[in-house]
Amino acid sequence: MTSPTPSFPAEPSDRVCAVVTTFFPDAGFPERLERIAAQLSRVIVVDNCTTGEIVVNLERALGVKENILCIRNHENLGVATARNQGICQVLAEERDCDWIVTFDQNSLQAGDMVERMLTIWKSQPYPEKLMVAGPRTVFFGSTPRPHSALDSPWREALYVITSSGRLFSQRAFEVAGYK
């Protein structure tokens, strides 16, 4: 039996920024964004033209923490373009962030997910060679695979999930370039 995961970490990671993409977020988005923002030094929300009555969900979410900045697109540019806008913002202006983690608007992660991912990243024998990491994903209503004491906290993968919880070293963009 495992102990319950805390709602929020003791303090946010001061070297990690998030990019969260939105398009007509639901009423639960403010709570999910607050959970993300509590773990990080800065959150960049990139909204793909949310309009009408739904914009209230976005406005409420933007006010949950002071460390949230929003880029509002005047048309739906798509998830990839929005994510790239946020990453460019972090690379250009958030010099104190060594890490970038990406989410979509319906991501619900553990309150200590970022801290745990960084710990696992650093436990890898050659952490300086890693460029990206992703979490184990559990879908609501599914039964997660039980973990044994022999399970490694990390494993090499050919790809990781695109938007929810992908953690990049800023160094990845220095080495591989951007675009």
Does residue 84 come out as left (phi exceeding 0), alpha (psi in the -120 to 50 range) or beta? alpha
Long-range contacts of 94-97 (CB under 8 A, 24+ apart): 94/17, 94/41, 94/42, 96/14, 96/15, 96/41, 97/15, 97/16, 97/17, 97/41, 97/42, 97/170
Backbone angles phi, psi at 75, to 5 degrees: -155, 165
- The domains of the chain are located at 13-176
Predicted pLDDT at 5: 37
Largest CA distance in the chain: 51
Predicted pLDDT at 138: 55
CATH of the structural domain 13-176, one choice from 3.90.550.10, 3.40.47.10, 1.10.1370.40, 3.40.50.300: 3.90.550.10
- Low-confidence residues of the chain: pLDDT under 50: 1-12, 149-150
Q: Is the pTM of this model over 0.85?
A: no
Predicted pLDDT at 142: 57
CA distance 16 to 76: 27
Average pLDDT, the chain: 80
Q: Are the C-beta atoms of residues 99 and 16 closer than 8 Å to each other?
A: yes
Convert the pLDDT of each residue in 65-101 to its tens digit: 889 999 999 999 999 999 999 999 988 887 778 889 9
For the record, the structure tokens of 123 come out as 């436990």
